[in-house]
A and B are shown apart, each in its own frame.
Chain A
Amino acid sequence: MSKILVIAEHLDGKLNGATARAVSAAQAVKPDAIDVIVLADAPDAIAAEAAKIDGVTKVLTVARAENAHALAAIYAPQIAKAAAGYTHVFAPSTTFGKDLAPRVAALLGVAQVSDVMTVEGSHSFKRPIYAGNAIVTVDVPADQTVVATIRTASWPAAASTGSAPVEALTVDATLPTHTRFVELHQGKSDRPDLQGAPKVVSGGRGVGSKENFEIIYKFADKIGAAVGASRAAVDAGYVPNEMQVGQTGKIIAPELYIAVGISGAIQHLTGIKDAGTIVAINKDGEAPIFEIADIGLVGDLFKILPELEQAL
């Protein structure tokens, strides 16, 4: 008899696609109900989107001015209260979910399971450790609320053909004032979102400079791909931090991943293990990236990328 509460992630009045992936994982538990909770200052439009996700029983909205920004210190006490009566609380394993879920778990006095890859049973899950170099099966005691983050790359987004009812919820929780949102600098981009895109082209240190990165953008735009990067490229200032792919960046699962001028450090590979087809372009034939690439091409990226554009 499981009942799952899925925490909706949203920004600027729009539901984040990671939420529908968390719902997929919830469905794998075969629960009696999956409710999505939306905390926001103005939750209606977000709730309407969440109501369409297949498998959702109902959508709960908590409208409060304090919920305008996703601060864990503000959200967690409300979710801990709302979690009463639920056997599971799921959030996507994004920076939003990773910030929030442990705080909720600690308030409930239970452990938290990070990065759920598969559901083995209602209280048993597989998750990666050591940058994905080992996969462990973890069991949560049957009498404990399961608080988990869902590794979005492991789960498809549930379809959007449903029409669940939306209910307003009043949560009686005292909220702290010790944490305040100041601002968000969003990387603005017309390109597809790195986390959901079917095609991704990433550049590494081999690209050499911020200016040179234009060659990556140009090629990506030509094939309609999102753009990612290795940590070395981010650290060197070629691209902003939100483009980092890997253990400590974004974990993605596109159908096509093209790594350009990236050596293939394990921390980077962790982020792309679930990609459908991995293509590597590197001038060093010995680069470790070729050990896992489905298709490899040895050569100078500055020569190959223009040739590829020509050959398309």
Chain B
Amino acid sequence: MKILVGYKRVVDYNVRIQVKPDGSGVVTEGVKLSANPFDDIALEEALRLREKGIAEEVIIVGIGPADLTAHLRNGLAMGANRAIHVQTSEAIQPLTAARTFLKLVEKEQPGLVILGKQAIDDDANQTGQMLAALWDRPQATFAGKVEIADGKATVTREVDAGLEVIEAELPAVITTDLRLNEPRFIKLPDIMKAKSKPIDVVDFASLGVDAADHVKVTHYAAPPKRSKGVMVKDAAELVAALKSKGLL
């Protein structure tokens, strides 16, 4: 079985994002970019399934501009067999990303597609579900535990009420939650080895995916700031302050 993994590059989670003063976007020039943390988890899970002999090949997919190569090399160094780079200089919205993945799914025929539950830039939390709908296959979102046996995935999902277990026949789409696993660190020799692994560059336009933007972002604003509050010196003062606000 092949596993297709979404491997998106995003602004590193430690960066404090600044909105441009004219409201046209956020400052992305010169900020540190990293793999979406949920996608590192997706890749780790795929690698573990390969190590268990459940999968033979792990393919990472990046949709983005020409300079995505170094990012994809990191995924290859982590252990993916090969990468597909769908090249586009445009920002891709979730429905378009899902349609793009569907094209790759049709070509590669994976038994499993593992994506992050959300990308931490847009926080959309949509692509996996949309792909599953278009592909007419099961979705197991917010996965905290995955077991594959007898042609199906048994997935424990982190839901608001607690932990939900579902069974999904393969092929299926899984989206990862934070506690699914801890991604491995990349070792130096692996970086060398990754240099010879293939990155298949596909021009986005050649896939015939409708690239029209579905929603338009018209303005960016900084969130309203909470003003700095007061410090109290002990428990008694805190209780008094809360009582005066009618909160206790």
Contacts and interface: CB of A to CB of B under 8 A. Distances in A.
A45 interface: no
Given A94-B160, A181-B166, A294-B229, A72 B95 contact: no
Contacts of A176: 136, 138
Contact of B133 (A103, A136, A308): A103
Interface stretch (B46-54, B189-197, B214-222): B214-222
Contacts, number: 255
Contacts of B160: 94-96, 195, 242, 250
Interface stretch (B63-71, B76-84, B105-113, B240-248): B240-248
Interface string B90-106: 00011100100000000
Interface string B101-143: 0000000000000000110111111111111111011111110
Contacts of A248: 117-118, 177-178
Contact of B162 (A72, A124, A187, A299): A187
A105 B130 contact: yes
A166 interface: no
B165 A183 contact: yes
Interface residue SS majority, chain B: mixed
B142 to A, nearest CB: 6
Contacts of A178: 137-138, 168-169, 172
A102 interface: yes
Nearest to A193: B160
A182 B153 CA distance: 12
Interface residues of A, number: 89
B189 to A, nearest CB: 30
B94 A112 contact: yes
A114 B153 CA distance: 27
Given A110-B95, A241-B179, A133 B223 contact: yes
Interface string A100-118: 1111111101111111000
Interface stretch (A34-42, A81-89, A285-293): A285-293
B133 A102 contact: yes
Given A102-B125, A242-B162, A295 B230 contact: yes
A76 interface: yes
Contact of A111 (B17, B95, B141, B242): B95
Contact of A134 (B134, B172, B221, B237): B221
B232 A295 contact: yes
Interface in A216-260: 223, 231, 234-235, 240-242, 247-248, 250, 255-256
A240 B162 contact: yes
Interface string B15-59: 011010000001000000000000000000000000000000000
B228 interface: yes
B234 interface: yes
A99 interface: yes
A273 B215 CA distance: 26
B247 A184 contact: no
Interface of A: 11, 71-73, 76, 94-96, 98-107, 109-115, 124, 128-141, 144, 176, 178-187, 195, 199, 223, 231, 234-235, 240-242, 247-248, 250, 255-256, 266-267, 273, 276-279, 290-299, 304, 307-308, 310-312
24 contacts: A71-B166, A95-B141, A106-B98, A112-B95, A113-B215, A114-B123, A130-B11, A131-B120, A135-B221, A135-B222, A136-B219, A137-B221, A139-B216, A179-B140, A181-B166, A184-B164, A185-B163, A240-B163, A241-B162, A279-B242, A295-B229, A296-B230, A297-B232, A311-B235
User: Lowest 3 CB-CB distances: which A-B pairs, in order?
Assistant: A111-B214, A307-B235, A102-B129
